[in-house]
Structure 1
Amino acid sequence: MPEATPTLRERKKAETWTTIHEAAASLAQQRGLEHATVEVIAESAGVSPRTFFNYFPTKEDAVLGLREPVLDPDEAAKLTGAADLLGQVTLLLVSVARSALGGTDTRRRRELLQRYPNLYRRQMEYMAKGEALVCEAVIAALADDPSWSGGAEGFSAEETARMLVMLAAVPAKFKATSSDFDPVIGLGPAELAPSLALFHFLQRKL
């Protein structure tokens, strides 16, 4: 089913969001985060501080281009315990994380995260929200699968799902911190395949 064409209002909102984010990120990079106040960002973006807060709750969110994470219900519906559930959850985690990272310049984001640790903490708050969404989807998927619905022995389905989500994050983090990771390309199925293969190899060996 083709995606609906954005309305004029939706396009203008997206443009304003991008304008504010670009102003915030550029000011933080060029002048320092402490000088990138909401008032200065709003002035640079040509909007009022009130408009700024309609799009971002904090200046840190604007600098990084953070959005509330979104779980695609169609992707969540594809979860099944039949084949490589861990790989499925890994890809779902990446998809949800990508929905929260609305900024376009990934290299700039990484530079800012390295310079300002408090930005990293803020980003991780959004990643935690995304993981919670994925965990809910995994719980629902396990409940529909007779071989998983009871959870692991001695543990509830909720605890089993939470552990699975934590394990599924490992291949993505492994790839994202490797020397050959290209933030522009990001983490797609092809990029994650070697990390997942290594993870499964270690599973078998352990």
Structure 2
Amino acid sequence: MQKTSMPLRERNRLDTWALIHNAASLMACEQGMAKTTVEAIADAAGISKRTFFNYFPTKEDAIMGLQQPTLSEETLAAFRMESSEDLFGRTVRLMLTVIRSMFPAESRSDRRKILKAKYPELSKRIFDHLRDSEELVEAVLLERYPDPAQELALPGSLPGKDSALALLMMAGTVIRFAFSKDSGAATNEQSTAIDEAIEIFREAIKATL
């Protein structure tokens, strides 16, 4: 199947995003956080401060190569579609897809790893975005409960909202477990860490019931 070419406007947006991120991450690696200001990043990238804030809300996001997590209609449709995989596995994969949307292909994972080790405080922005990712997935799980005053769900859903929230927490735990085994699984679609983690948790749950 022939791939659909990316619209020129989107390609230009990604190129500018990558330009700013590259300048910010390189500056932070070479000069440190204190000297890596929004003004300095903008100058290095050859853009205005206004343009910087059109792409990144903070200098930390620019340095780490992060963007706000998103949930596409295509991803939603895949989650809602009947498949051979159970809701547990589908929820883990849904959350993983949302998390991966935080890291565009142009994001420099090599520098991010160095910067996280050198400046642990940068991890806070990752955690902030991870929380936003969980909220997106939570909204999807809870959409089957149309009446806020009731615990009754539409057919084919978990028996109550608390069960849906428990599933959300389990999915997050599975992903953290997978990332502890393979830190690159966050961005590497070829990694088997998520598949292996899902199976480990399935077996662990079965063995303790």
Could you tell me which runs of 5 or more consecutive residues in structure 1 were left unpaired when the two chains were aligned.
152-156
Q: 1:168 and 1:142, CA in 2 relative to 1: closer, same or farther beyond 3 A?
A: farther
Q: Distance in 2 between matches of 1:120 and 1:39?
A: 22
Asked whether the 8 Å contact 2:158–2:164 carries over to 1, the reply is: no
Structure 2 letter corresponding to 1:177: S
Q: Counterparts in 2 of 1:42-191, with a 5 A limit? A: 42-79=42-79, 83-102=85-104, 103-140=106-143, 146-148=155-157, 150-151=159-160, 157=161, 159-178=162-181, 181-182=183-184, 186=188, 190-191=192-193
Structure 2 letter corresponding to 1:86: F
Percent identical pairs in the alignment equals 33
Query: TM-score, length-normalised on structure 2?
Result: 0.83
SS of corresponding position for 1:50: helix
SS of corresponding position for 1:177: helix
Asked whether the 8 Å contact 2:64–2:112 carries over to 1, the reply is: yes
Asked whether the 8 Å contact 1:38–1:49 carries over to 2, the reply is: yes
Shift of 1:145: 5.0
Structure 2 letter corresponding to 1:52: F
Tell me the matched-pair count: 199
Query: TM-score, length-normalised on structure 1?
Result: 0.84
Deviates more, 1:122-131 or 1:132-141: 132-141
Shift of 1:147: 4.6
Asked whether the 8 Å contact 1:107–1:183 carries over to 2, the reply is: no
- 1:116-168 CA-partner distances (Å, limit 9, x unpaired): 222111111111111111111122357775253541xxxxx2x3222211101
Q: 1:8 and 1:148, CA in 2 relative to 1: closer, same or farther beyond 3 A?
A: closer
Shift of 1:60: 0.4
Could you tell me which runs of 5 or more consecutive residues in structure 2 were left unpaired when the two chains were aligned.
147-152
